[in-house]
Amino acid sequence: MCPSWWRSVTFVIPAWLQHIFDSGAAPIQNIADAVIATHIQHSVSRSEKVIRFMIQRTVRACRSVLVSAVSAPRSRQCSIMALIAALTSGEPAAGQRRTVDCAACHAQQAEEFRQSVHAEAVFCQDCHGGPNSYRLTPEEMRLFGFDVAATRSAAEAPAAFDHGEEFTGKASREEIPDKCGTCHANVEQMNPFGLRTDPLAAYWVSGHGKALKNQGDTNVAVCIDCHGTHDVLPEENPNSRVYFQNIPNTCGTCHADRALMKPYHLSADIVDQYGRSIHGRNVLENGDAGSPHCATCHGSHAAAPPGFADVGHVCGQCHQQVESYVLESVHGRIAAIARCTGCHNERAEPTNHEIRKASVPLDELTRIHESLGSGGAVDPVEFKAAVDQASGSMRLDHVCNYCHAQNRAGPHSEFFAASDKTARARGEELAASLRAAQLDYIQTKLRVDDMARGVLLVGDEALRLGDARTELMALQTFVHTLKRDEVAERASKIAEITEEVNTSLDDKQGGLQKRRVTMAPVWIFALVFSVLMFRWYLQLKHVYVGPEAEVQPADVEPRRRWLQFVLGALGLAGIAGLVWPAVAYVLPARKRGGGLERSVAGSDSDWKVWEARKVAVAGKPVIVLRAGDGFRAFSAICTHLGCIVHWTDAKRVFECPCHAASFAPDGKVISGPPPRPLPEYKVAVVQGDVIVTASES
Amino acid sequence: MAGESKRWERYLDDRMSYFTVRDFAHKQLYKRLPPHTGWMHIFGSIALLMFVSQFVTGILLLLYYRPTLDEAHESIKYITGDVAFGWLFRQIHAWGATLMVIALIFHMMRTFFMGSFKKPREFTWVTGVILFLLTLGFGFTGYLLPWNQLSYWATTVGTEVVGAVPFVGEDLKQMLLGGSAVGQETLSRFFVVHVAVLPWLLVIILVFHLVLMRMHNLATLEDVGAEKGFAHRRGVPFWPVHMAKEACVVVVIFAILVSLSVFMPWEIGEPADPLSTPEGIKPEWYFLPSYQLLKYFTGPLGKVIGILVSGVPFILLFLWPFIERNPHRQPRKRKWAVGVGVFGLFAALALGILGHFSETTMHVGGRVIEIDMYGIPHVVDENAQPQTGEEAKPDAAVDENTGAGSADEEGTDADAGGQPASSQAEPGDGQ
């Protein structure tokens, strides 16, 4: 600890020593104040705030050293400070009075305080009043039982110690908020630390604060119940009571106490419920600081339960997209229903705190599918059952039944009964659409993964399937609108993409199968050729080798001519079989797999109507036009002689610079020599990106 | 045969000595090989044919391959995925390398055991050994070109060996890599060596090899200096008789090559990532014996000894015609030479098998057996208790003997020290 305070000491020593010599004897506190004053006086050119802060820190550092030096002389590490302490006590070391600090009696509190965030800037008397240290004669020391070195237990200290007139002692619970507020609601004091000054005001409007103020109920939480007394730690310290992972327990000290909650008619189970919820498990088990804890929904200083109709808004703080969809839905127009908690619960009785995961994430769905049967077709019914089992919340198609089941007895049953049938049918439809899209995506995904492990290259397909995934994620959110037609439309978009990918995969797999099948004729050819050639070899040997061999090659027996002929034909076929792939290889390569190459033409948000942009798709120029009714893409190659057409906004036509041809916005020829309309490409808007695929539609 | 010369023949003869050329070609084509020339004598031709196949498919691959860090792997993907029959030529090129090495090994075995390398064919043998080494060079440089994880790391590990050469090792390695690690420079120079340097060297030496071969004709099994020769009529004409025999085999080998390409294709793998080494990096099978042998030599001095020891077989191969100087060709009459040859083959085979199974995990009869880098199996306790040497020993006994045997064969102190060390090190490594 020496180096840091030593720097501080060197900073103040000149002014300090000067002051000591000027005033002769002065208590530490006075010296510190004088030093502050001196510095402010001599540093007028600098920002006062900075100076004050620096000096506060400096003085605090010096003082803490002095305190430790005085209170524990035997353990002192820096004897020079003891010397300075002796000097500043105004009397020689062998004098008649000794300085006693709060820590001399209140050792435990002092130790807690020393580790707290307040050790930086607050002193005992700031909260408790009175001086921070007392100068006592040896007689007083003896009288009050002070043995600086030995006595640490407060019990041994006589109660009769007079703390002085200014000493206010321990604040009552009613006083505490204002006590903390003296600093924490003071802008000047909080600004150097970058702390907010509204906690006090917020507290007074909270459920706790109102009860304290209006009913004088001292059972409610005050500052110290959440933040601690002497041991206040910063929020980001994992030991702090208000560290995000500790908050449920901190609130639980009261809210899980059945006896304490009873008079307020509050459930004491909520902390347990929270612990089981998706949010609680994220916070407590996974350490996810982004997941909500008590204060995220209820507020911290202004803690208050959100009203029944406001629960949706609370959830919407994080789940913004979902909230806006829910408000679009038929439920959005009815204020008095439990929008989020009504469905996202495991049990039939909604609890606000035990929020279960909404649906099974795609990756987990994929795992379930794999576990049911790898590669082969999975029975949709079996899949649905497995998914329902894995899902933490109510089953997708049963969610609606919670309110809309006819047999439900309850205060609102008549209201619900009016639209029961429609609602249930709608719910089942939506669930079916969503589940079909999920199954579709998963099966295609598994197929792509499976093929990626083989020799075929399916990078394009995987990329395209990524679009389907994006769409599906969006759809899982979009179902909150409960809009049947739009959901069906989005689901069909996913089906379209998976269909496209599957076709492409079929194509590639077919090619692979063809290769394998081709091996049969190759082997038949090789074996036939080999066997015939062997016979031919025997015959040649007979003809050429041996003493009796007189004939010349031309004189091979005529009846063996057919062998020569067949071998010649097979040989030619074989050579052709070798040359043909080589020729095909040299020819320009074409992209296989149904044109899955895709290009992003831009974002639809900054794309004006009747604006056209050019983009290269699979190396070819394509013009993407935002027509009145949506995006359309055409090949930019004029069908006449291959010049590149451009869009003329003024006339709203595509014009070709060669031969003055023009095409309508739908690609049809208006004038000029082109024989055919411009070929059209597929365009899709995926999550705001305008994507052109290479397949000409 | 010449008969009456035709008009076009005379026309050509006036301009390029057609008749001389024709008579020379004719003589070579119909050259009579010794009567005993059999099925064992076709491996040289098969190797030659594989070389031609590699040459042609290599040129085809060059049309699309791009030897840069960013594009090498992508271009291989392009060849495989988009170019018509690109997959076929790539697979034939990859499998052809393996078949070529196999053909060469059989060719060399035949030559060795039949004593064909003896006077006057010593230089034919030496050029043959050079051709073999060049082929291994092709394999080593070509393996990097796809620039996938396996090729990258196999090359990294392979070139580390060079670094252990005393004094000049590090410089040599840097020269080979073109830098301190495998990177663009390595890719460039391996590419150049693979497609420009080695092919030329190979063609030149191959021509020399073939000319020598034709000059001396094929060797018989008669002792050196006691060759009786053969009557012209008893000889086997190269064309068409010997060629017909070769054609029988060649067509089947091509079918095998294509089948391997279709049913056991080489994977393209993940692109090279210098930041993560995949599990189980091993060199190509024809480098495995040397690779495994080098593992038994640890420490700076051990590595140097290892390189020297693994260099011995190649030096022996080179110098063999000058070491074995007896006149016999019949294997029965040269027992010790055949013994050395058989021993060398089995040692290489044993090391190769050890190398293949080292650092793998096997499931035998419901038990999990981990084989460490020295090829010694350890039974892994299902309850995952820290294993001890005693547990592993009973099951490992058989293989341990083999391992010890093959290592002892090389006869150095380093392995004796290496093995106990390994069994002590293993528990720590495994857990």
Identify the pLDDT of residue B64: 93
Q: What is the DSSP string of B310-373?
A: HHHHHHHHHHHHHH---S--SGGG-HHHHHHHHHHHHHHHHHHHHHHHTTEEEEETTEEEEE-T
Nearest residue to A566 via CA among A537, A527, A532: A532
Higher pLDDT, A34 or B328: B328
Q: In chain B, whose CA is at the least distance from the CA of A548?
A: B233
pLDDT tens for A319-328 read 888 888 888 8
Task: Return the pLDDT at B395.
Answer: 43
pLDDT of residue B308: 86
A624 neighbors A692 (Cβ within 8 angstroms): yes
Between CA B86 and CA B65 the distance in angstroms is 11
Of the pLDDT bands very low, low, confident and very high (cuts 50, 70, 90), residue B258 is: very high
Name the pLDDT band for B24 (thresholds 50, 70, 90): very high
CB contact under 8 A, A540 and B244: yes
Q: What is the pLDDT of residues B38-86, one digit of tens each?
A: 888 999 999 999 999 999 999 999 999 999 999 999 899 889 888 889 9
The Cβ of residue B39 has, within 10 Å, a number of other Cβ atoms equal to: 10
* The residue count for chain A: 697
Distance, CA of A680 to CA of A683 (rounded, Å): 9
Find the radius of gyration of the CA atoms of chain A: 43
The answer on pLDDT for A55 being more than 50 is yes
Q: Do A585 and B86 lie within an 8 Å CB cutoff?
A: yes
Check pLDDT > 80 for residue B312.
yes
| pLDDT, tens only, A251-270 | 999 999 999 998 888 888 88
pLDDT digits (tens, 9 = 90+) for A371-420: 887 555 677 788 888 887 777 666 666 677 767 765 555 666 666 666 77
Residue A314 reports pLDDT greater than 80: yes
Q: Is the dihedral of CA A502, A507, A510, A511 positive or negative?
A: negative
Cβ-based contacts of B254 with chain A (< 8 Å): 526
pLDDT confidence band for A590 (50 / 70 / 90): low
Interface with chain B: mutation pick from A457, A560, A564, highest number of B CBs within 10 Å: A457
Is the pLDDT at A527 greater than 90, yes or no?
yes
* Among A534, A581, A586, beta carbon nearest to B63: A586
Q: Which of B83, B87, B245 sits opposite A537 (nearest CB)?
A: B245
Please report how the helices A320-328 and A459-478 are oriented relative to each other, as an axis angle in degrees rounded to 10: 60
Q: pLDDT tens digits for B117-137? A: 998 999 999 999 999 999 999
Q: Are A591 and A597 in contact (CB under 8 A)?
A: yes
Contact A547 B231 (CB under 8 A): yes
- Site of tokens 């006149």: B327
Q: Is A98 helix (H, G, I), strand (E, B) or coil?
A: strand
pLDDT at residue B418 greater than cutoff 60? no
Could you tell me the two tokens for A573? Answer: 């076929």
Q: How confident is the model at residue A103 (pLDDT cuts 50, 70, 90)?
A: confident
CA distance readout (Å), A171 to A327, A353, A498, A580, B401: 48, 35, 69, 98, 84
Q: Is A584 on the interface with B (CB under 8 A)?
A: yes
The residues with which B237 forms a beta bridge, in sequence order, are B32
| CB contact A579 to B (< 8 Å) | no
List of chain B residues whose C-beta atoms are within 8 Å of the C-beta of residue A585 = 60, 63, 83-86, 89
Beta-bridge partners for A613: A624
**Ranges A279-288, A383-392, A506-515: which has the least confidence:** A383-392
Q: What is the mean pLDDT of residues B220-245?
A: 86
Rounded mean pLDDT of B175-184?
90
Question: Which range, of A40-49, A430-439, B214-223, averages the lowest pLDDT?
Answer: A40-49
* Model confidence pLDDT, tens digit, residues B345-396: 999 999 999 988 888 888 877 778 888 888 788 887 655 544 444 444 444 3
Q: For CA atoms A15, A16, A21, A26, give the dihedral sign.
A: positive
Q: In Å, what is the CA distance from A436 to each residue of A432, A502, B106?
A: 6, 16, 60
Cα separation of A546 and B236, whole Å?
9
* Minimal Cβ distance to B82: which of A530, A546, A592: A592
Taking residue A616's Cβ as centre, other Cβ atoms within 10 Å add up to: 12
Mean per-residue pLDDT, B179-184? 90
At residue A73, the 3 state secondary structure works out as: helix
Residues A563-567: contacts with CB under 8 Å, at least 24 apart: A563/A532, A563/A535, A563/A536, A563/A539, A564/A536, A566/A532, A567/A529, A567/A532, A567/A533, A567/A536
Chain B partners of A519 at a C-beta cutoff of 8 Å?
258-259, 262-263
**Per-residue pLDDT at A86:** 46
pLDDT (mean) for B317-341? 92
Average pLDDT over residues B270-287: 86
Q: Which of A117-131, A280-294, B123-137, B222-236 has the highest mean pLDDT?
A: B123-137
Q: What are the φ and ψ backbone dihedral angles of A678, each rounded to 5 degrees?
A: -65, 135
Q: What is the DSSP letter of A637?
A: B
Sequence letter at residue B404 = A
| pTM, entire model | 0.67
Q: In chain B, positions 58-87, which contact chain A (CB-CB < 8 Å)? A: 60, 63-64, 77-78, 80-87
Query: Count of A–B CB contacts within 8 Å?
Result: 106
CA atoms of B160 and B180, how far apart (whole Å): 11
- Name which of A455, A536, A586 is nearest B244 (Cβ-Cβ): A536
**pLDDT score recorded for residue A345:** 73
Instruction: Name, of A126-135, A170-179, A534-543, B206-215, the range with top average pLDDT.
Output: B206-215
Percent of chain A with pLDDT over 70: 72
Q: What is the average per-residue pLDDT within A488-510?
A: 91
Backbone phi and psi for residue B264, each to the nearest 5 degrees, phi listed first = -125, 60
Region label for A216, one of left (φ > 0), alpha (ψ between -120 and 50) or beta (otherwise): left
Residue A16 has pLDDT above 60, yes or no: no
Kindly compute the dihedral angle of the four CA atoms of residues B69, B73, B76, B77, in this order, to the nearest 10 degrees: -140
DSSP collapsed to 3 states, B273-328:
CCCCCCCCCCCCHHHHHHHHHHHCCCHHHHHHHHHHHHHHHHHHHHHHHHHCCCCC
Q: If you measure CA to CA, which chain B residue comes closest to A546?
A: B234
Report residue A48's pLDDT band, with 50, 70 and 90 as the boundaries.
Answer: low
Please check whether residue B297 is in contact with residue B108, taking contact to mean a CB–CB distance below 8 angstroms: no
pLDDT score of A463: 87
B contact residues 208-237, partner A, Cβ 8 Å cutoff: 231, 233-237
8 Å CB contact between A362 and A472: yes
CA distances from A578 to A585, B46, B86 (A): 11, 17, 13
Q: Write the CB contacts of B181 (distance below 8 Å, at least 6 apart in sequence).
A: B156, B274
> What DSSP assignment string belongs to A401-448?
HHHH-TT--STTHHHHHTTHHHHHHHHHHHHHHHHHHHHHHHHHHHHH
Res. A315 pLDDT band, cuts 50 70 90: confident
Q: Which of B37, B39, B77, B245 to mutate to test the interface with A (most CBs of A within 10 A)?
A: B245
Counted residue by residue, chain B has a size of 431
Interface contact A587, partner B, CB < 8 A: yes
Taking only the tens place, the pLDDT of each residue in A419-470 is 777 888 888 888 888 888 988 899 899 889 888 877 788 888 888 898 899 8
pLDDT recorded at residue A360: 78
Q: How far apart are CA A459 and CA B80, in angstroms?
A: 13
Residue A555's CB is within 10 A of a number of other CB atoms, namely 9
Mean pLDDT across chain A, nearest whole number? Answer: 78
Distance CA B153, CA A99 (A): 73
- Average pLDDT value for residue range A56-69: 58
Diameter of chain A measured on Cα atoms: 145
* Site from B262, B266, B268 to mutate, A interface, most A CB atoms within 10 angstroms: B262
Q: Which residue from B157, B163, B181 is spatially nearest to B373, judged by alpha carbons?
A: B157
Task: Quote the tokens at residue A685.
Answer: 């808007």
Give the ipTM.
0.82
pLDDT digits (tens, 9 = 90+) for A65-77: 555 545 544 444 4
Once rounded to an integer, what is the mean pLDDT over residues A488-498?
91
What pLDDT is attached to residue A51? 55
Contact, B188 vs B67, CB < 8 A? yes
Handedness of CA B133, B135, B141, B147 (dihedral sign): negative
- Residue A617's pLDDT is 84
Poorest-confidence range of A302-306, B106-110, B233-237, B324-328?
A302-306
Structure tokens at A161: 């110690």
Nearest C-alpha neighbor of A241 from the set A222, A227, A259, A224: A227
Q: What is the pLDDT averaged over residues A32-39?
A: 54
Give the Cα separation of B80 and B269 in Å (integer).
12
Residue A28 reports pLDDT greater than 60: no
CA distances from B76 to A112, A238, B266, B421 (A): 67, 52, 12, 43
Position A40 pLDDT exceeds 60: no
Rg of chain B over Cα atoms, rounded to whole angstroms, equals 25
pLDDT for position A148: 46
Q: How far apart are CA B97 and CA B104, in angstroms?
A: 11
